[in-house]
């Protein structure tokens, strides 16, 4: 993920992905406890060891050498041990391949490449269509975010080192080849910090999750991939936010799309240590200023449409403006909801023809880009049905 790495990569992400089982089958499993998950398959999971922490709070490391054929290691406070152990047993009994579309497995759509000025990255091997799932994977490492409130930064480094050492050899090597920023920082620590996502596992608690192939994706402020975390299956799914051309680099955004250029650049520098050189940051400053201005108006439009203070007659123009700004700013994930605002606004003034146009656009884009869990989907289908009724009123 870090752009300046010059490290030699032995395992190509595409191989890790397409040949998951092949690449990691020769693992030497050390001495994990082999346990039988009730009524399910046998898996080598280790309930791990719970220890007295440096400051007194007890922590545990749970691991499996066989999970998704490359292992998983989890570091958490002791109070979460039983819960995590149960989750891990559940995930392990449910092969991750079950969450992958078979077409993506038989025909990977990307490969690892050298990207000028950014070190390693992933690039499309063929045209990828909007909404296509490009990659889905489960974490290699999970760390309880609450540890930060119990231990000093120095203790955390030691804990993370202990955790990474509990990974199978090949996975540990792969992890160490990921990039981390700051030459002087602890190598294990910086790799976690540069490559992890904040996720929930079904409860309130936040965890930092590291996903090995996802960690190879570089940043773009206007990315072509969106990611989607599922707590139920513990899977991070990446899908195309727009059409991606063959050989185009695959990217995700490390920061919010509606950040101003200053916010974006300072966050990327402070968290990942690089000067933003994405498609947007590389524009001349007057164009970046224009983009910032559009984002301010975009934010305002959203705020106005969400408030109940607009007259129905004023809503369509504001919704149209929102759609237009979102398109200009290439913020594709906001597009479905923007179309939905326009659909509702036109329905309210009983312009059925235009309302129907936007309802259809919203549903089509929403399902492709946001999936079946998109919250506005059902509502829009109902609206569409109402609009289609011969003398239906909205």
Least distance in angstroms from the C-beta of 142 to ligand NAG: 18
Q: How far is residue 207's CA from residue 212's CA, in Å, rounded to a whole number?
A: 16
Choose between 155 and 258: whose C-beta lies nearer to ligand NAG: 258
242 phi-psi bin (left φ>0, alpha ψ -120 to 50, beta other)? beta
State the Rg of the chain over Cα: 23
Assess 228 for contact with ligand NAG (CB under 6 A). Answer: yes
Shortest approach of ligand NAG to residue 387 CB, angstroms? 25
**Sole window of 10-18, 29-37, 71-79, 80-88 interacting with ligand NAG (rule: CB under 6 A):** 10-18
Pairwise CA distance, residues 150 & 77, whole Å: 9
**Among 78, 162, 258, 348, which residue interacts with ligand NAG (rule: CB under 6 A)?**
258
Reported in sequence order, the residue ranges of 211-322 that DSSP labels E, i.e. its strands, are 218-219, 225-230, 235-240, 249-252
Does 257 help bind ligand NAG (rule: CB under 6 A)? Answer: no
Binding of residue 296 to ligand NAG (CB under 6 A): yes
Given the complex with ligand NAG, which of 296 and 313 has the nearer CB atom? 296
CA angle 248, 254, 259 (to 5 degrees): 110
Residue whose beta carbon is closest to ligand NAG: 371
The secondary structure of residue 237, as a DSSP letter, is E
Choose the stretch contacting ligand NAG; rule: CB under 6 A; options: 1-9, 17-25, 191-199, 317-325. Answer: 17-25
Residue 99-118 contact track with ligand NAG, rule CB under 6 A, x = bound: ---------x----------
Reduce the DSSP state of residue 280 to 3 states and report it: coil
Q: Where are the alpha helices (DSSP H) in the chain?
A: 13-18, 20-24, 81-92, 102-106, 147-150, 153-165, 169-177, 187-195, 261-272, 285-306, 315-328, 335-348, 352-369, 377-388
Candidates 71-79, 185-193, 252-260, 350-358; binding stretch for ligand NAG (CB under 6 A): 252-260
Q: How far is Cα 190 from Cα 204, in angstroms, rounded to an integer?
A: 26
DSSP string, 3-54: TT--PPPSS-HHHHHHTHHHHHTT----SPPEEEPTTS-EEEEEEEEEEE-T
Q: Which stretch binds ligand NAG (CB under 6 A): 33-41, 48-56, 228-236, 320-328?
A: 228-236
Which residue stretch of 166-174, 204-212, 273-281, 289-297 sits at the interface with ligand NAG (rule: CB under 6 A)? 289-297
| Nearest partner of 280 among 255, 309, 310, judged by Cα | 255
Q: Which two tokens stand for residue 159?
A: 């804990």
Among 1, 18, 74, 163, binds ligand NAG (CB under 6 A): 18
Write phi, then psi, for 247 (nearest 5 degrees): 75, -5
Is the Cβ of residue 35 or residue 228 nearer to ligand NAG in the bound state? 228
Instruction: For residue 56, give every residue at least 6 positions away whose Cβ sits within 8 Å of its Cβ, in sequence order, or none.
Output: none
CB nearer to ligand NAG: give 232 or 350: 232
Minimum gap (Å) between residue 141 Cβ and ligand NAG: 21
> Using CB under 6 A as the criterion, what x/- string covers residues 24-63 for binding ligand NAG?
----------------------------------------
Summarize as ranges the residues that interact with ligand NAG (CB under 6 A): 14-15, 18-19, 22, 108, 228, 230, 233, 237, 239, 258-260, 263, 292, 295-296, 299, 370-373
């Amino acid at each position: 993920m870090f752009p300046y790495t010059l490290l030699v990569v032995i395992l190509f992400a595409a191989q890790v992905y397409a040949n998951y089982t092949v690449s990691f089958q020769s693992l030497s499993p050390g001495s994990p406890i082999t346990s039988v998950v009730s009524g399910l398959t046998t898996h080598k999971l280790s309930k791990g060891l719970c220890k007295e922490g440096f400051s007194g709070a007890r922590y545990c490391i749970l691991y499996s050498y066989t999970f998704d054929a490359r292992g998983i290691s989890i570091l958490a406070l002791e109070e979460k041990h039983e819960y995590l152990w149960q989750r891990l047993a559940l995930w392990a009994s449910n092969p991750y391949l079950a969450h992958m579309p078979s077409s993506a497995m038989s025909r990977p759509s990307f490969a690892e490449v050298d990207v000028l000025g950014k070190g390693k990255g992933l690039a499309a091997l063929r045209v990828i269509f909007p909404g296509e799932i490009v990659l889905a994977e489960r974490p290699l490492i999970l760390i309880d975010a609450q540890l930060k409130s119990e231990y000093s930064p120095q203790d955390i480094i030691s804990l993370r080192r202990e955790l990474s050492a509990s990974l199978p050899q090949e996975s540990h090597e792969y992890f160490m080849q990921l990039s981390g920023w700051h030459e002087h920082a602890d190598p294990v620590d910086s790799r976690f910090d540069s490559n992890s996502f904040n996720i929930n596992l079904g409860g309130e608690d936040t965890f930092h999750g590291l996903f090995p192939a996802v960690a190879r994706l570089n940043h773009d402020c206007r990315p072509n991939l969106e990611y989607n975390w599922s707590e139920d299956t513990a899977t991070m799914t990446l899908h195309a936010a727009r059409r991606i051309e063959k050989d185009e680099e695959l990217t995700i955004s490390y920061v919010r799309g509606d950040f101003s250029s200053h916010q974006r650049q300072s966050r990327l520098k402070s968290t990942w240590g690089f000067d933003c050189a994405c498609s947007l940051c590389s524009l001349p400053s007057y164009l970046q200023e224009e983009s910032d201005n559009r984002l301010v108006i975009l934010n305002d439009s959203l705020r106005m449409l969400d408030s109940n203070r607009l007259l129905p007659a004023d809503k369509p123009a504001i919704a149209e403006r929102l759609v237009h700004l979102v398109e200009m700013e290439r913020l594709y994930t906001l597009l479905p909801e923007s179309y939905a605002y326009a659909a509702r606004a036109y329905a309210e003034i009983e312009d059925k023809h235009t309302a129907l146009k936007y309802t259809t656009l919203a549903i089509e884009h929403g399902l492709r880009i946001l999936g079946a869990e998109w919250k506005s989907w059902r509502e829009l289908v109902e609206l569409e049905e109402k609009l289609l009724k011969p003398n239906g009123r909205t």
